[in-house]
Amino acid sequence: MVVHVDPETRGDERGALLAFLDAERGGIRRALLGLSEEAAATRPSASELSLSGLLKHVRLTEQSWLERATGSAPEPAEGGTYADAEHGYELVGEETVASELAAWEAVARRTEEFIRAAGTLDATFALPDAPWFPPGQRVSLRWLLLRLITEMARHAGHADIIRESLDGAVAFELVAKERGEEWG
């Protein structure tokens, strides 16, 4: 993590978890600062990952987990998945970095509203029926937040590497840029 997360108000577990989640989201958002659409779509390594593709993936991932937790997840099409696997890592059609950032901001806002409104982080929901999850298992909202934090942290690290490969910008430099400060 590149930015400091303030300690929670004593006993505010959900606030602390939401703050860590947002700090990790910030790493991904900052990796896109100042890039053109073309640069954001560049794949500078052997991987198929680009910054715009990572952005779309994390938005879809958070959205699908929120839908699962709120009971509003659509059932996948026959043989399909909950996320658009074919285009889950690339922007298509009218999608842009700006539109994906706005969509992700809306998802993040709904995530926070849902978590803050929940009576307890011990409330549970069913995991999706997928080969990588135990059948019939339920998880708590606490588990959901921890899952999202780890997902965002993992991809924030990918974003750091991709951005540095594109133009040499490192995470601390991007934090300074976001704050309007000089780096170095």
Q: How far is CA 101 from CA 13, 23, 29, 59, 120, in A?
A: 27, 15, 8, 8, 29
Cα→Cα distances 128→41, 74, 75, 99, 158, Å: 30, 11, 10, 28, 26
Paired strand residues for 140: 124
Element holding 113 (H helix, E strand): helix 97-117
Under 8 Å CB-to-CB from 12, ≥6 apart: which residues?
none
Token reading at 166: 């594109």
For residues 115 and 56, the answer to whether their CB atoms sit within 8 Å is no
The tens-digit pLDDT sequence of the chain (184 residues) is 567 888 777 778 999 999 999 999 999 999 999 999 999 999 998 888 999 999 999 999 999 999 999 999 876 654 445 444 667 899 999 999 999 999 999 999 999 999 999 999 999 999 988 888 999 999 999 999 999 999 999 999 999 999 999 999 999 999 999 999 998 7
Give the pairing of strands 138-140 and 124-126: antiparallel
Instruction: Name 124's bridge partners.
Output: 140
Neighbours of 106 (CB within 10 A): 12
User: What is the structure's pLDDT at 1?
Assistant: 55
pLDDT score, position 2: 66
Residues 131, 87: contact at Cβ < 8 Å? Answer: no
